[in-house]
Amino acid sequence: MTAPGAGAPHASSAVAVEAVVRTAGPAVAALMERVEQRLSQLAVGHGPALARHARATIAAGGKRLRPLLVLLAAGEAGVDDDADRRLVRAAVAVELVHSASLVHDDVLDGAPLRRGAPTVVAEAGRIAATATGDLLFSRAFAELAAGGEPDDVRTLSSAASALAEGELLQRADAWNAGVDLDRYLHRCELKTGSLFEAACRLGALASGPSARADALAAFGRRIGLAFQLLDDVLDIAGPPSRTGKARGTDLLDGTVTLPLILARERDPALATLDLRALDGAADAEAVCERIAATGALATAKSRALAVVEEARDRLPDLPQRQRHLLELVAAGVVERYA
């Protein structure tokens, strides 16, 4: 889980997001368009040095899954201009924090490519990439602060703290084959769940004082957790033709994820495996096979699907249409794996 929610180039989430937006109708589509426009404005508006890297980062474009969650958690869009402005700001801010974390992750991994394009660190070096991440990060808070809603800023800053804490935890646990399930799940919630949670909470807050904000935030956290669990399964399951990266990349980074945690209870050789002893892609591939042979991938996948189910089941009382759209997002997260 070196790149939370980075997804794979061939994953189907981009398609899923588009499909949900189409289903959601013109009001949501129009807001998503405003989010895109604002993101490009931010990329060009701050001097040549920033413009180059920030534009590349923002324009390379994620799936915009988090901005979509902001809009859907709000319920009906297009009802009130002020609420819409607040939603767009929140969606932009969430995507900026996500982008910032990806840029920093790429620095730490020395990653050459993301979504098929050269990373900022590959193109411009560590200094420019670290600064670009910091800048996207501060822009996110500037964007939210412009709205004058302290609750929104609090929500995002808490998520951003969790994200950084998750990264620290991952670092602290690197190469430690003894990491247990609770600690792993906690890390996933920090690294990925927290920003999905913030996206849903921000959407709920923008639609007015809402008793549903906590419940929608919990939905977001679960969806984010499931997203990360499936990402980690894909790292072991491959195939590379689908994920766009070699199998077992996490293992080579010393990152212990759910499949290995489950598999080591079933295979004594895996229980005593020292990840540092892995020497290159062929070794990693062999461990992936061994993990797969224990049936751990299926168990891990079931666990992720159960989390998605739980997310769906615990959705609060919502208008039919809003519920349907959020369920489509949940289904889209699962489809990434299918």
Binding site for its own copies (CB under 8 A): 46-50, 53, 100-101, 104, 107-108, 124-128, 130-135, 137-139, 141-142, 144-150, 153-154, 156-158, 160-161, 163-165, 167-172, 174
- 144 or 307, CB closer to its own copies? 144
What is the Cα–Cα distance from 152 to 93, expressed in whole angstroms? 10
CB 196 within 8 A of CB 224: yes
Residues facing residue 117 across a β-bridge: 114
Angle of helix 296-313 relative to helix 320-335, nearest 10 degrees? 170
DSSP 78: S
- 256 or 334, CB closer to its own copies? 256
- 100 or 260, CB closer to its own copies? 100
Residue 129 CB, shortest distance to its own copies, in Å, is: 9
Residue 206 CB, shortest distance to its own copies, in Å, is: 15
- 12 or 158, CB closer to its own copies? 158
What is the Cα–Cα distance from 232 to 255, expressed in whole angstroms? 10
- 74 or 169, CB closer to its own copies? 169
What is the Cα–Cα distance from 17 to 15, expressed in whole angstroms? 5
Count the neighbouring beta carbons within 10 Å of the beta carbon of residue 294: 18
Indicate the SS3 state at residue 131: helix
Residue 42 CB, shortest distance to its own copies, in Å, is: 10
Nearest alpha-carbon partner for 252 in 280, 231, 228: 280
Instruction: Round the CA-based radius of gyration of the chain to a whole number and report it.
Output: 19
- 125 or 319, CB closer to its own copies? 125
- 133 or 224, CB closer to its own copies? 133
Residue 98 CB, shortest distance to its own copies, in Å, is: 13
Residue 167 CB, shortest distance to its own copies, in Å, is: 4
- 48 or 209, CB closer to its own copies? 48
Which 3-state string (H, E, C) describes 270-320?
HHCCCHHHCCCHHHHHHHHHHHHHCCHHHHHHHHHHHHHHHHHHCCCCCCH
**Structure-token pair, residue 117:** 């394009």
Residue 170 CB, shortest distance to its own copies, in Å, is: 8
What is the Cα–Cα distance from 120 to 112, expressed in whole angstroms? 9
Residue 310 CB, shortest distance to its own copies, in Å, is: 25
**Main-chain phi, psi angles of 197, to 5 degrees:** -60, -45
Residue 171 CB, shortest distance to its own copies, in Å, is: 4
